[in-house]
Amino acid sequence: MFQVSSKKGFTLVELLVSIGIFIVIFVVMMGTLVFGIRIQRRLLIEQQAVDELSYAIEYMSRALRLAIREDGSFNCLSNGYSYQNPGGNVSKIRFINHLQGDDCQEFFLENNVLRHRKGIGASEQIFDLTSPGLTVTDTKFSLLGETSGDGLQPRASIILRISYPEGPSLINVETTVSQRRLDVD
């Protein structure tokens, strides 16, 4: 008679097949993990860019909303103007910021960074509104109703083209700000 062995174990073929299956599952799981980390990193960069851009637009909007008309006493703009593109340059906007002590100020693009110039003239200070990590490729300030007596409420459209690392190549953002004070003569 045949006697059955009481020893139990795995054959070499069974062991190699199970190791192969384990390696395939491990590689797939690691690929998924690496992909998830890359997506999370990109989303964090996008969120940081959106937060920074949101701050810059809100900051500019608030200042432009409270701008006042030049009446000849500020020596900032042409008489009767609420906003101006200095020298006809649409990538800049100059205004009198009533929110900050009727100070002559300007928003402009320089070296792909959106900047804010305060105290134009003797006590001039320049601040960055965006970080160098957020590349502002183009800025345009389109003005309407900027002069008194034209029958239009002063407003400025802000158009920005933005790019940031590992994100879409270009983002276009546009908003329009209307001056709070009625342009009534």
Per-residue pLDDT band for 56 (boundaries 50, 70, 90) equals very high
Residue 145, pLDDT score: 82
- Per-residue pLDDT for 58 more than 90? yes
Quick one: what percent of the chain has pLDDT higher than 70? 91
Per-residue pLDDT band for 31 (boundaries 50, 70, 90) equals very high
Q: What is the pLDDT of residues 162-173, one digit of tens each?
A: 887 665 567 888
Check if the beta carbon of residue 86 is closer than 8 Å to that of residue 72: no
Residue 169, pLDDT score: 64
For 152: left if phi > 0, alpha if psi spans -120 to 50, otherwise beta; the answer is: beta
- Per-residue pLDDT for 63 more than 70? yes
Q: What pTM was estimated for this model as a whole?
A: 0.77
Check if the beta carbon of residue 82 is closer than 8 Å to that of residue 97: no
Check if the beta carbon of residue 118 is closer than 8 Å to that of residue 46: no
- Per-residue pLDDT for 24 more than 70? yes
Check if the beta carbon of residue 76 is closer than 8 Å to that of residue 68: no
Residue whose structure tokens are 């097949």:
17
When pLDDT is averaged across residues 76-89 and rounded to a whole number, the result is: 89
Per-residue pLDDT band for 105 (boundaries 50, 70, 90) equals very high
